[in-house]
Amino acid sequence: MTAPSTFGLSSEARNLHWLLSNLIEEVPGIQSVAVVSSDGLLLLSSDPGRNTEAREALEAKRTTPRGSAADLATIVSGIGSLTIGAAKLMDSGPVKHTMVAMEEGSLFVMSISDGSLLGVHGSADCDMSVVSYHMALFVGRAGHVLTPELRSELRKSLEDVSGGSAR
């Protein structure tokens, strides 16, 4: 049975929602997840109200309040832009992933094949190698289906959920 927020979406869009839910369910310490387009727009998130499956998975694990996936999307977009610029200046090829370790958490950003980014906010006790591994699996499975048409469909579904303001 399809969750209410994925009703009417293409099979590819429903699959991405499922992949996001699976990422949240399988990886201990994930607090928030966002998929951001190359132009910085939120496409998919773990925010309550954004998609039911991911929200239920995250809420089942949550112990304290966290920032929204829209906030995460803004941060991910900025870090992505900064690291892409740094890679160009350093003539080091494309950025594959970025990790920021903080005292009470971690931030992971991984490139998806079309220029989109996957961002994960993890708790202080998350296993960084496990998070990175599962992010790579998500990117490998999502990258080839994240077409311009699918990005447009995901963006529209977020706008419909939030009443026209998905960011």
Q: What digits encode the pLDDT tens for the residues 123-141? A: 999 999 999 999 999 999 9
- Which amino acid type is present at position 1? M
110 token code pair: 């991984």
The pLDDT of residue 61 is: 53
Inter-residue contact 112 to 142 (CB < 8 Å): yes
CA–CA separation, 37 and 150 (whole Å)? 11
Predicted TM-score of the model (pTM): 0.81
Q: Could you identify the residue written with the tokens 């202080």?
A: 124
The pLDDT of 135-164, averaged and rounded, is 84
Element (H, E) at 140: helix 128-142
The pLDDT tens digits of the residues spanning 44-102 come to: 988 755 444 554 555 555 544 455 777 899 999 999 999 999 999 999 999 999 999 99
Q: Where are the beta strands (DSSP E) in the chain?
A: 30-36, 42-45, 97-102, 105-111, 117-123
Q: Could you identify the residue written with the tokens 């992010």?
A: 135
Per the prediction, the chain carries an average pLDDT of 82
CA–CA separation, 113 and 17 (whole Å)? 18
146 token code pair: 């994240």
For the chain, domains (ranges, CATH) are 19-162 (3.30.450.30)
Identify the residue with better confidence: 16 or 158.
16
Element (H, E) at 100: strand 97-102
> Among 2-16, 65-79, 104-118, which range has the highest average pLDDT?
104-118
Whether 167 has a pLDDT exceeding 50, the answer reads no
